[in-house]
Amino acid sequence: MHIEHEEAMREAFTELDRLTRMAYRPEATQADIHRLYTDGAAIDQGWHYGPHREQWGFLKQARSQWECDPTAMRRSLVESLRSAGTKLDPVQRRSIEQGRVLADSTRPGIDRGR
């Protein structure tokens, strides 16, 4: 994957993530939700059916795994780094990191009363 394609993929995925989060806001109307999902589906389909669909799928899976079970994702990442048989390419490593960052940005922070 050329760097310009990777950068475009990362920007598109960040936008897809943003649209999805906006749809879950309590103040989102049904019209907002429909528009946000329609816009998000257009982004997803463009990458899902494009020449970089495998990298897009890997990124989506990494994001989902970080959201669902970050402890297992960390453990799996450490194991893959230790294992000589499981090699992640640089794009996959960056996808794992992007998934972590996006998942972390959606977790509510702790209000310490400051």
Other C-beta atoms within 10 Å of 9: how many? 21
Is pLDDT of 113 > 80?
A: no
- Pick the more confident residue, 74 or 15: 15
Task: Give CA angle at 113 (109, 114), nearest 5°.
Answer: 95
pLDDT of 111 > 90? The answer is no
Q: Report yes or no: 16 and 48 within 8 Å, Cβ to Cβ.
A: no
DSSP state of 74: H
Token pair for 93: 């490593």
Residue 86 dihedral angles phi and psi, to the nearest 5°: -105, 105
Q: Is the full-model pTM beyond 0.85?
A: no
Cβ–Cβ under 8 Å, residues 75 and 83: no
What is the per-residue pLDDT for 73? Answer: 86
Residue 74: per-residue pLDDT: 85
Tokens of 97: 């990191």
User: Binning pLDDT at 50, 70 and 90, where does residue 84 land?
Assistant: low
DSSP code of residue 108:
P
Task: Judge whether 52 and 5 are in contact, CB under 8 Å.
Answer: yes
Which tens digit of pLDDT belongs to each residue from 1-51? 999 999 999 999 999 999 999 999 999 999 999 999 999 999 999 999 999
